[in-house]
C-alpha cells in the first residue's frame, strides 16, 4: 500500500496562482489547462472575438464583469504528473478567499504585469507565502505589450517581494518587436507567433552563440540577447533548487499568457522542480503525507455550484493517507462519523465522482450544513489543522428583506453565503438586526446579485457607521458580563454565537480597552490572534 501511496504523492503538484487584478492569472490558468489537454480551445476573460469565457470563471457574475470572484479548483494530468491548480481572485475585496487557499497548496505561481510591475496586492500575498515559507515561481506576463526593461523588473521583484530571483527564461525584445523567449533552463529558443488559442513552435539550438540565432531573430536582437545572458550569468547566482524549496529564491519566467507564449516553459520547469505534497502542521503534531491513516481539512465552502440543486460543497484538502468513497471518517469538531457517497473532483464547475484521492488532491464533499471552514476529517485520530483565519471586516451594512414573501429564501441564502466565508454576519443583541461585514464594497454587490439570481430573494442595504468588529473573551466571567451589560448597544454575536464588540470609532475602542483591562480584544476569529 505504502509504495502505491508514495508513488501517487510524488506525482502530485498542488499550487495556487496569485497576483494583482488584471495581471493575467485566469488567462494563464486557461493556458495551463490547454497544455494539460483538459480543454481544447482556451477561453478569455475579456474579449470581443473569442466567444468562449474562461473555464475557471464559471459564475454568471464573473462572466459579466470579467473578474474572478471565487477561487476555482482544477485538476488534470500532464505527462506523468497530476496537477491541481487553484485559480484565486486577485481583487483585494476577496483577499480572504485567497489567504485561505494559500493554506491548502504546496507552492505558488505569482503573475506580474510587465508594464505595471509589483502592485500592493501582490506584496500582501507574498507576505503570506513568506510566513509559511511557500516556494514561489514568478511569471512576468504581457511581454507582447510595451513594458519596462526586464532587468528593472527583476530589481523591483527583489526589492518589493524581499526574495532572491533567478531568470530561467529571457525575452527577446518586447511589445510590437517581441521576437520570443530564450529558455535558459533547457537552452532552447521559442519564436513568437501571435495566436490566442493554439500553441507556438519551438526551435532547439545547441548554443546561444550559433549563427542560427542571428538568422532567426536578426543580428541586433541576437547580439543584445547574448549580452543580456552574459550579464545574467554574472549577476545572478546559479539556480539552486534547495533555496527555491525553502522559499528563498524565485525562478522568473517571461511570456504572454494571452498569446500562449512562454507558458509551456513555465509548466515544464514547474513540474520538475516544484515540491510534491509536504508535511502539514496540526495543533497536536506534524502530519506526514505518507502516513496510512487519512486526514484532511476543509478550506473553502461554495454554495450553489449547481443552481438547480442549491447544494453546498465543502472543499477538502487531503493531507495524509488515502481518501476513499463510502468509508466512514471522523468529523473531529462534531465527533460524528460521516461517510460520503459522492465525493467529486473538479474542473472548475464540471465535476466527476472519484473513488479515491491522495495527498495533495482537493476533493469536493456535498455539505448539508455539517461543515465549517477549518474543520478536520480523519480516520479516527483527534487532529486539528490550524491556520485558517477570518479577518475583521472593514465595511458594515444592515441587511434588510426587500420582499416579505421571500423571507425564508433570504434566510437560507444568507446562511449559505456566510458559510462560504464571502462575508461575515453579526446579529445585534440590542435590536436583533442583522449586520453584514465585508472587506470591500464589491462583496455587497456580489451578495445582492447572488441572493437575487440564485435564491430568488431581494435584499436592500442600509448604512451603519462602524469602525471595527472585535471578538472579545476574558478569563474573568464577571468582568465579561459587566462589559456586555455596559456596552449592550454595541454588542452582537457572530454566526457561531461568539460575542463581538462593534466599536463605532477608534476612540470608543481605545476607551473600552482602557476601562476594561481584563477583556481581550481580537481582530481575527482564529483563537490566539489578539492584537
- By residue range, what is the domain housing residue 343? 280-378
> For residues 317 and 296, is the Cβ–Cβ distance under 8 A?
yes
Q: How far apart are CA 109 and CA 17, in angstroms?
A: 5
> For residues 301 and 389, is the Cβ–Cβ distance under 8 A?
no
Q: Does the structure show a pLDDT above 80 at 443?
A: no
Residue 374 shares a structural domain with residue 401: no
Residue 68: predicted pLDDT? 41
Which residues are registered as beta bridge partners of 435? 398, 426
Residue 431 shares a structural domain with residue 410: yes
Residue 327 shares a structural domain with residue 236: no
pLDDT bucket at 50, cuts 50 / 70 / 90: very low
Residue 447 shares a structural domain with residue 318: no
DSSP assignment of 43-108, as one string? -BSS-SS--SBPSS--SHHHHHHTS--S-EEEEEEETTEEEEEEEPP-SGGGHHHHHHHHTT-SEE
Q: Does the structure show a pLDDT above 70 at 208?
A: no
Instruction: Determine which helix (DSSP H) or strand (DSSP E) holds 18, and give its type and residue range.
Output: strand 12-19
Q: Does the structure show a pLDDT above 50 at 58?
A: no
Residue 328 shares a structural domain with residue 236: no
More confident residue, 510 or 19: 510
Which of 87, 68, 91, 80 is closest to 21 using CA atoms?
91
Residue 287 shares a structural domain with residue 211: no
- Point out the domain boundary residue: 378, 407, 429: 378
Residue 196 shares a structural domain with residue 306: no
Average pLDDT of the residues of the chain: 76
Query: Which residues are CB-contacts of 181 (< 8 A; sequence separation ≥ 6)?
Result: 143, 169, 170, 171, 172, 189, 190, 192, 253, 254, 255, 261, 262, 265
> For residues 181 and 265, is the Cβ–Cβ distance under 8 A?
yes
Residue 195: predicted pLDDT? 54
pLDDT bucket at 388, cuts 50 / 70 / 90: low
> For residues 278 and 288, is the Cβ–Cβ distance under 8 A?
no
pLDDT bucket at 348, cuts 50 / 70 / 90: very low
Report in angstroms the alpha-carbon separations of 322 from 285, 363, 370: 19, 12, 22
pLDDT bucket at 194, cuts 50 / 70 / 90: low
The 10s digit of each residue's pLDDT in 395-414 is 888 888 888 888 888 888 88
Among 54-63, 239-248, 311-320, name the most confident range: 239-248
The 10s digit of each residue's pLDDT in 412-422 is 888 877 776 66
Q: Does the structure show a pLDDT above 70 at 530?
A: no
Within-domain flag for 389 = no
Per DSSP bridges, beta strands 249-254 and 164-167 are parallel
Query: For the chain, how many structural domains are there in total?
Result: 3
Q: Does the structure show a pLDDT above 60 at 233?
A: yes
Residue 123: predicted pLDDT? 79
pLDDT bucket at 95, cuts 50 / 70 / 90: low
The 10s digit of each residue's pLDDT in 292-323 is 888 888 877 776 555 555 567 788 888 888 88
Residue 48: predicted pLDDT? 40
Amino acid at each position: 500500500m505504502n509504495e502505491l501511496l508514495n508513488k501517487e504523492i510524488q506525482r502530485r503538484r498542488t499550487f495556487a496562482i496569485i497576483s494583482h487584478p488584471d495581471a493575467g492569472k485566469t488567462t494563464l490558468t486557461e493556458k495551463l489547462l490547454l497544455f494539460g489537454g483538459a480543454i481544447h480551445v482556451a477561453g478569455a476573460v475579456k474579449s470581443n472575438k473569442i466567444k468562449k469565457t474562461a473555464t475557471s470563471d464559471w459564475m454568471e457574475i464573473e462572466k459579466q464583469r470579467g473578474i474572478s470572484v471565487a477561487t476555482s479548483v482544477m485538476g488534470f494530468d500532464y505527462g506523468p504528473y497530476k496537477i491541481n491548480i487553484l485559480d484565486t481572485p486577485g481583487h483585494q475585496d476577496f483577499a480572504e478567499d485567497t489567504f485561505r487557499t494559500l493554506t491548502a497548496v504546496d507552492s505558488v505561481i505569482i503573475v506580474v504585469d510587465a508594464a505595471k510591475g509589483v502592485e500592493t496586492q501582490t506584496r500582501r500575498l507574498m507576505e503570506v507565502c513568506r510566513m509559511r515559507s511557500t516556494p514561489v515561481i514568478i511569471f512576468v506576463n504581457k511581454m507582447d505589450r510595451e513594458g519596462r526593461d526586464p532587468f528593472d523588473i527583476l530589481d523591483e521583484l527583489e526589492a518589493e517581494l524581499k526574495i532572491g530571483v533567478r531568470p530561467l527564461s529571457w525575452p527577446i525584445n518586447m511589445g510590437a518587436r517581441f521576437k520570443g523567449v530564450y529558455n535558459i533552463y533547457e537552452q532552447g529558443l521559442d519564436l513568437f507567433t501571435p495566436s490566442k488559442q493554439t500553441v507556438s513552435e519551438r526551435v532547439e539550438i545547441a548554443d546561444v552563440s550559433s549563427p542560427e540565432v542571428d538568422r532567426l531573430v536578426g543580428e541586433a536582437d541576437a547580439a543584445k540577447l547574448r549580452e543580456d545572458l552574459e550579464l545574467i550569468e554574472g549577476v545572478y547566482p546559479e539556480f539552486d533548487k534547495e533555496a527555491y524549496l525553502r522559499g528563498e529564491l524565485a525562478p522568473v519566467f517571461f511570456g504572454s499568457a494571452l498569446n500562449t507564449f512562454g507558458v509551456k516553459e513555465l509548466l515544464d520547469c514547474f513540474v520538475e522542480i516544484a515540491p510534491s505534497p509536504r508535511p502539514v502542521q496540526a495543533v497536536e503534531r506534524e502530519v506526514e503525507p505518507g502516513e496510512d491513516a487519512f486526514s484532511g481539512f476543509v478550506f473553502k465552502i461554495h454554495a450553489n455550484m449547481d443552481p438547480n440543486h442549491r447544494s453546498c460543497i465543502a472543499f477538502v484538502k487531503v493531507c495524509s493517507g488515502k481518501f476513499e468513497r463510502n468509508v466512514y471518517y471522523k468529523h473531529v469538531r462534531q465527533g460524528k462519523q460521516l461517510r460520503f457517497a459522492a465525493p467529486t473532483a473538479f474542473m472548475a464547475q464540471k465535476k466527476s465522482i472519484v473513488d479515491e484521492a491522495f495527498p495533495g488532491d482537493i476533493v469536493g464533499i456535498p455539505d448539508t450544513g455539517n461543515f465549517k471552514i477549518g474543520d478536520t476529517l480523519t480516520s479516527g485520530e483527534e487532529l486539528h489543522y490550524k491556520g485558517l483565519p477570518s479577518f475583521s471586516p472593514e465595511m458594515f451594512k444592515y441587511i434588510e428583506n426587500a420582499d416579505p414573501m421571500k423571507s425564508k429564501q433570504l434566510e437560507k441564502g444568507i446562511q449559505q453565503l456566510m458559510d462560504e466565508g464571502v462575508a461575515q454576519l453579526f446579529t445585534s443583541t440590542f435590536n436583533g438586526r442583522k449586520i453584514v461585514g465585508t472587506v470591500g464594497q464589491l462583496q455587497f454587490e456580489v451578495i445582492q446579485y447572488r441572493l437575487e439570481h440564485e435564491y430568488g430573494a431581494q435584499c436592500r442595504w442600509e448604512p451603519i457607521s462602524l469602525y471595527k468588529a472585535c471578538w472579545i473573551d476574558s478569563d474573568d466571567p464577571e468582568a465579561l458580563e459587566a462589559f456586555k451589560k455596559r456596552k449592550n448597544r454595541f454588542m452582537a454575536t457572530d454566526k457561531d454565537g461568539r460575542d463581538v464588540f462593534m466599536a463605532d470609532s477608534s476612540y470608543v475602542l481605545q476607551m473600552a480597552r482602557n476601562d476594561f483591562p481584563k477583556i481581550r480584544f481580537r481582530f481575527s476569529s482564529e483563537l490566539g490572534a489578539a492584537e
